[in-house]
Amino acid sequence: MESDLVGAADNTIHRMAGDERRQQLLEVAMHLFSKHGFSGTTTKRIAEEAGVSEAMVFKHFENKDQLYTDIIDHKACSLGMESPMSVLSDFVEAKNDFGVFYHLALNALNHHRQDTEFIRLLLHSALEGHAMARTFFDSYVTTIYESIGEYIEERQKDGAFREVNPKIVVRAFSGMFIHHSMTNIIWDKDQKLLKVSNERAAKEFATVLLDGIRKKDSSSDEQNSTQVQS
């Protein structure tokens, strides 16, 4: 009985060590992919940076493609991207227009700032035409378009928003905060052109958008904005 317990404990230790090694390889790979792209990064280089043999890389990942695409799942879990609309559910249910768009922008801006390497990796994968970019687009970006688009359509039926293609609205709004993040990550790291907090940027982006698509001003919009900021 005692030997069985010792064996189970040993297996747990080995499993934890394996999980930690896999985590390390993912982080090393993401760092290298973000700097050199997929084609410019080899499994040998990943192994060298991680301080392990190349065989160890293949022990945890079938090939470089699997390692590359597994980063999406890893980052989706760690950043909460597997359910991008969950943080907006209360605002959507309350039809708090400002709350929906403010928090959509703020969450995206915070994610971008927290993990610039992942953003660079996505840009590399898109430019290289790698399947990872399509996977991210289909699993995350498309969800945002569909969910926010449905919300906009509902508010149009309520008479709150003017008639405009919901997907154009989503693209216009996402263009604001994505461009803002890309500028800070790639061109203006010191924010010499524009230095503003994510909270302030999200507030102004939401205000600009709503001023453009609302049919008329309402006191409830102003009240919602105040409640979100308080």
Per the CB < 8 A criterion, the answer to whether 75 and 115 are in contact is: yes
One-character DSSP codes across 55-72: HHHHHH-SSHHHHHHHHH
The 10s digit of each residue's pLDDT in 56-66 is 998 898 888 88
Residue 141 structural domain: 80-229
Task: Kindly report, residue by residue over 175-192, the tens digit of the pLDDT.
Answer: 999 999 889 888 888 889
pLDDT of the residue at 168? 96
Q: Are the C-beta atoms of residues 151 and 100 closer than 8 Å to each other?
A: yes
Looking at the fold, whether 61 and 113 belong to one and the same domain comes out as no
Q: Report pTM.
A: 0.69
Band of residue 15 on the pLDDT scale cut at 50, 70, 90: very low
Which of 225, 191, 220 has its CA nearest to residue 206?
A: 225
**Same domain, yes or no, for 183 and 101?**
yes
Q: How many separate domains does the chain show?
A: 2
The answer to whether the beta carbons of residues 164 and 213 sit under 8 Å apart is: yes
Q: Are residues 90 and 48 in the same domain?
A: no
Among the candidates 51, 72, 93, a domain finishes at: 72
Q: What's the CATH number where 158 sits?
A: 1.10.357
Q: Which residues pair with 214 in a beta bridge?
A: 161
Angle ∠(192,105,74) on CA atoms, nearest 5:
100
Per-residue pLDDT tens digits for 62-120: 888 888 778 777 766 555 555 567 788 899 999 999 999 999 999 889 888 887 777 77
Q: What is the pLDDT of residue 225?
A: 52
Regarding whether 87 and 57 lie in a shared domain, the answer is: no
